[in-house]
Amino acid sequence: MQVRSHMSVLVHDLAKKYGEREALIYQDFGGKEWKSLSWNKFSATVKQVSNALLNIGVKEQENIGIFSQNSIQYLFCDFGAWGVRAVTIPFYATSSEQQIQFMINDAKVRFLFVGEQEQYDRARRVVSLCPTLERIIVYDAMVHISEHDTNAIYFDDFLKLGDKLPRQTEVEQRQREANNDDIANILYTSGTTGDSKGVILTHGQFHAAIIANDECVDVNEHDRVMNFLPYTHIFERGWAILCLSEGATLIVNTHPQEVQQSMRETHPTCMSSVPRFWEKVYQGVMEKIDHASSVQRKLFHHALAVGRKHNIEYLSLGKKPPIALHLEYELLNRTVFSLVRKELGLENAHFFPTAGAAVSEHVEEFVHSIGLNMIVGYGLTESLATVSCDHLNKPYTVGSVGRPINGIDIRISDEGEILLKGPTITKGYYNREDLTRQAFTEDGYFRTGDAGYLKNGELFLKERIKDLFKTSNGKYIAPQMIESKILVDKYIDQIAVIADQRKFVSALIIPVYGMLEEYARAHNIAFENREQLCANPQIYAMMKERIDTLQQQLAHYEQVKRFTLLPHQFSMEKGELTNTLKIRRRVLNENYKAEIDKMYED
């Protein structure tokens, strides 16, 4: 049964219910051993943080910054701050100095919590440019604090300020005064265009969101939930709080690049992720099958066909599979698909929310076919994550983003834009009344900037309206749709489609360098470096053949005609990627102007 308390007391009420049961599984900074924390200990540490915050002078609704990757300390600070009616502002662990300087100054942050050495060093370098910043509090005890930095302290020393709960009476008074209109978070969107803007999220929005999502998905106190995406991401933040409210155990994954190893070590039942994670899983499985014996390949592809028929053609439509098909699927599920799930660490898989970008229908079908329940959804920071998702025990259509959650009113404008109204929608942007006015229609609907349509109760996305390209021939191109089709190829890591005001579609492609090098060696293609590899005509021909196969279903004017293989990754430092790894098309057009222009030479 879900606990629906105000977030200022949520952890404490859960501790009263679950006591010494396991609440969090985590690794220390720099450690490899998985450790466990009970609900009682979670609650006790959050109380310490609340008391310590009062001892350093945190005021009601004051903004506190958290600049860290996922960690248990992050959770302690979020809930500890809410316990004294303070506001937390999460920064991505990869944020640049320029970004954190802007956020600290815009929100007038006095106290900043940081994770590891990298975050401390960046924060330290902007202190002189942030007049309100008084103190940096460091989670990782191995961080070297500058001897000239007299205002930084370690988190363990900060916690001591709350020993024996010296201000608990005041803490509890603030909790009694807490209400749903209080601001819980200000989330600065990294944005694919323009400056960051702070999305205001209230406790009332969170309260409405956890109730509405509880009605759609079946996370429960027996689930072990891997936190893979950063807590700064509204999808992971909302999901983690929903899971806690249900009494589930959170597995705090600090290093995203190690998530597959973490899964094999901790065996989660649920995990929210972006589509790229499942694209990589698909590529990895298919790569192993490509190297298997002909008998094994034939068996696996037959199993996939049976899985698709059973899970997509019947179950997804709410229909009961024929008994013969069901028995064959159960056999293959136990003998073939169980081995795939075991390799992923998902022997006890329950379900897997997926959102944040377009999901390739090919990948979605694959995940369902091997017996993993992918819950596809759609949302924004401004909607506190979920707008729609596949609902428990209701039919779903591969290619849709599910059914609207309860309380959300979706309207499609005459231009095809998705407009939203409801209790989970933000009231606006921090310190930006101008942007807030622009973001809403006259009758109060939030403009998402996404084009879509409703069909049989399900929401389907078309494209970001501002991302639509118009070729010089007058044809409209949806780049993300094209990219999602091509990204399933095992040799492709990233792709950016180019088409705006151009006579045909082209693309910049980041290949999977290791696999490309392996292919070159297997085919006696000589190269001394990545530049030579990516420029090789034989490599280009091989890639073109694969890309042409993937885009056969696209209209002729939508197909990528030429592409450039780049010998290096897109870079966050150069502004080419956001903190959530979305491409910034304007920056790519500037940084790769020469490469792009060359593709259009006659």
* Residue pointed to by tokens 């009758």: 443
* Residue pointed to by tokens 């205002």: 151
Tokens read off for 244: 């806690």
- Confidence (pLDDT) at 583: 85
Lowest model confidence (mean pLDDT) among 234-248, 273-287, 336-350, 425-439: 273-287
My answer on whether 385 and 514 are in the same domain is no
Nearest to 589 by CA among 499, 460, 486, 466: 499
Exposure string for 321-357, b = 16+ CB within 10 A, e = fewer: beeeeeebbeebbeebbeebbebbbbeebbbbbbbbb
DSSP per residue, 329-357: HHHHIIIIIHHHHHHHT-TT--BEEE-SS
My answer on whether 417 and 479 are in the same domain is no
Lowest model confidence (mean pLDDT) among 151-165, 332-346, 417-431, 547-561: 547-561
Rg (C-alpha) for the chain, rounded Å, is: 25
Evaluate if residue 581 carries a pLDDT over 80.
Answer: no
- Confidence (pLDDT) at 225: 98
CA 90 to chain centre: 14
pLDDT band at 585 (very low <50, low <70, confident <90, very high): confident
In terms of residue numbers, what domain contains 323? 275-442+456-465
My answer on whether 497 and 535 are in the same domain is yes
pTM of the model: 0.86
Please report whether residue 338 resides in a domain: yes
What is the domain-level CATH number for residue 71? 3.40.50.980
* Residue 270 φ then ψ, to 5°: -140, 155
Total structural domains in the chain? 3
Last residue of some domain: 178, 207, 239? 178
Last residue of some domain: 178, 210, 234? 178
Exposure string for 238-277, b = 16+ CB within 10 A, e = fewer: bbbbbbbbbbbbbbbbbebeebbebbeebbbbbbbbbbbb
My answer on whether 434 and 471 are in the same domain is no
Mean pLDDT of 159-164: 97
My answer on whether 164 and 299 are in the same domain is no
- Confidence (pLDDT) at 182: 98
Q: Which residue has the higher pLDDT, 72 or 579?
A: 72
451-490 pLDDT per residue, tens:
899 999 999 998 777 666 767 666 667 888 888 889 989 9
Please report whether residue 191 resides in a domain: no
- Confidence (pLDDT) at 191: 55
Last residue of some domain: 434, 465, 496? 465
Mean pLDDT of 307-328: 96
Tokens read off for 186: 């200000």
My answer on whether 531 and 583 are in the same domain is yes
410-438 pLDDT per residue, tens:
999 998 899 999 999 999 999 999 999 99
Nearest to 182 by CA among 93, 270, 81: 81
My answer on whether 427 and 514 are in the same domain is no
pLDDT band at 584 (very low <50, low <70, confident <90, very high): confident
Q: Which residue has the higher pLDDT, 64 or 580?
A: 64
Helices 39-55, 168-177: axis angle to 10 degrees equals: 100
- Confidence (pLDDT) at 192: 45
Please tell me what DSSP assigns to residue 21: S
Evaluate if residue 20 carries a pLDDT over 70.
Answer: yes
362-388 pLDDT per residue, tens:
899 999 999 999 999 999 999 999 999
Whether 111 and 86 have beta carbons less than 8 Å apart is answered as: no
Whether 137 and 151 have beta carbons less than 8 Å apart is answered as: no
DSSP-derived 3-state class of residue 40: helix
Q: Quick count: other Cβ atoms within 10 Å of Cβ 532?
A: 14
Please report whether residue 228 resides in a domain: no
Where helices occur in 161-223 by DSSP H, the ranges are 168-177, 203-214
Counting residues of the chain whose pLDDT is more than 70, the rounded percentage is 98
- Confidence (pLDDT) at 211: 97
Strand partners of residue 463: 451
Question: Using CA atoms, how far apart are residues 530 and 513, in angstroms rounded to an integer?
Answer: 8
Evaluate if residue 279 carries a pLDDT over 60.
Answer: yes
183-195 pLDDT per residue, tens:
999 999 865 445 6
Evaluate if residue 575 carries a pLDDT over 90.
Answer: no
Evaluate if residue 37 carries a pLDDT over 70.
Answer: yes
Please report whether residue 432 resides in a domain: yes
Tokens read off for 286: 């298919």
Question: Using CA atoms, how far apart are residues 388 and 396, in angstroms rounded to an integer?
Answer: 12
Single-letter residue type at 249: T
Q: Which residue has the higher pLDDT, 470 or 492?
A: 492
Question: Using CA atoms, how far apart are residues 80 and 171, in angstroms rounded to an integer?
Answer: 10
Lowest model confidence (mean pLDDT) among 232-236, 253-257, 315-319, 410-414: 253-257
Question: Using CA atoms, how far apart are residues 154 and 272, in angstroms rounded to an integer?
Answer: 31
My answer on whether 72 and 140 are in the same domain is yes
Please report whether residue 252 resides in a domain: no
Mean pLDDT of 525-550: 94
Q: What angle do CA 538, 542, 546 make, to 5 degrees?
A: 165
Please tell me what DSSP assigns to residue 151: S
Distances (CA, A) of 233 to 23, 98, 185, 427, 520: 21, 19, 12, 19, 38
Please report whether residue 246 resides in a domain: no
What is the layout of strands, in order, in the sheet containing 63-67? 152-154, 135-138, 111-114, 63-67, 87-91, 183-189, 197-202
Per-chain mean pLDDT for the chain: 93
My answer on whether 404 and 486 are in the same domain is no
Tokens read off for 238: 């909302």
Mean pLDDT of 384-412: 95
Whether 570 and 589 have beta carbons less than 8 Å apart is answered as: no
